[in-house]
Amino acid sequence: MNTYKTSGIALKSLKLGEADKIITFLTTGGKISAVAKGIRRTSSKFGGRLEPGNDLDLVLAHGRALDTVTQVDMKKARPWLRSDLAKLDVVYAILELADKLSPEAAEGDRLLELTAAALDRLEVESRLPLLLLAFDMKALAVTGFFPNLNACVACGARAGLDRVGAAEGGVICDKCFRGQPAQKLGKEAKELVRQLLVVRLVNLDSVMTHSGIINEVRRIIWSHLRYHVQAEFRTRMEDGTSGR
């Protein structure tokens, strides 16, 4: 049997046949989908180790269409991920975005590290909307999808940058604005964006803000994300908040 080793986080699962599942992992080598045979039987050798959000060491066997999970060792379990429904909604929102932003076989180290950090932060974080916003922004940044907020996308000007156009991919200065769909980006919102891009998630306590500013930034980021990452999201409301 031709096997290989990798490590990563289980993102999602899909039932296959009567007893199997297809598990999607975000690994150090990118995104991988593999069959876990017999996992839905009570006697399964995998137990609950392949639950989404767990850090795993994996041994996979190459297959024609899909690889097969042959061995799983738990690196880190995160029991707090399922401690309440609000956290669980955020967990699935984080994992779904990681899935959408990680194409098959792409290098996944930075996104994997970020996803793990966000799941770890859920153990102590009470400001769940802020954590989810921070993850969304950082995930867009590490995968190259983050909007250009430093200079006008049309002329390069660095003044009068109070509007963000999703279609344009960033800020539009006053001179270039022609009434196209855009959202206002206020001074406090700009500061929150700056802070969330530089702060480590383990230090999220240092970010002081309030729900109105979080909502303002979230609307801008989510509008941009939905325009440029064209995918169906099942874990989010229309405004980008977690929930189904």
Spatial CA neighbour of 130 closest among 210, 35, 220, 23: 210
Domain of 198 in residue numbering reads as 80-149+185-228
178 domain residue, yes or no: no
The pLDDT of residue 170 is above 60: yes
Same-domain pairing of 27 and 96: no
90 domain residue, yes or no: yes
Same-domain pairing of 20 and 65: yes
233 domain residue, yes or no: no
71 domain residue, yes or no: yes
Task: Write down how long the chain is.
Answer: 244
Element containing residue 187 per DSSP (H, E): helix 187-198
Overall domain count for the chain: 2
Q: What is the share, in percent, of the chain residues with pLDDT greater than 70? A: 97
- In this prediction, residue 69 carries a pLDDT of 96
- In this prediction, residue 244 carries a pLDDT of 65
Torsion of CA 198, 27, 230, 225, to 10 degrees: -10
Query: Is 81:122 a contact under the CB 8 Å cutoff?
Result: yes
Same-domain pairing of 109 and 142: yes
Q: How many CA atoms lie within 13 A of 26 on its CB side?
A: 26
**What Å distances lie between residue 145 and 140, 181, 232, CA to CA?**
5, 19, 17
Distance CA(181)–CA(176), nearest Å, equals 13
Distance CA(62)–CA(195), nearest Å, equals 43
pTM for this structure? Answer: 0.93
Same-domain pairing of 60 and 119: no
Same-domain pairing of 204 and 119: yes
- In this prediction, residue 105 carries a pLDDT of 53
CB atoms within 10 A of CB 151: 15
Residue-wise pLDDT tens digits, 190-243: 999 999 999 999 999 999 999 999 999 999 999 999 999 988 999 999 889 998
Distance CA(59)–CA(53), nearest Å, equals 18
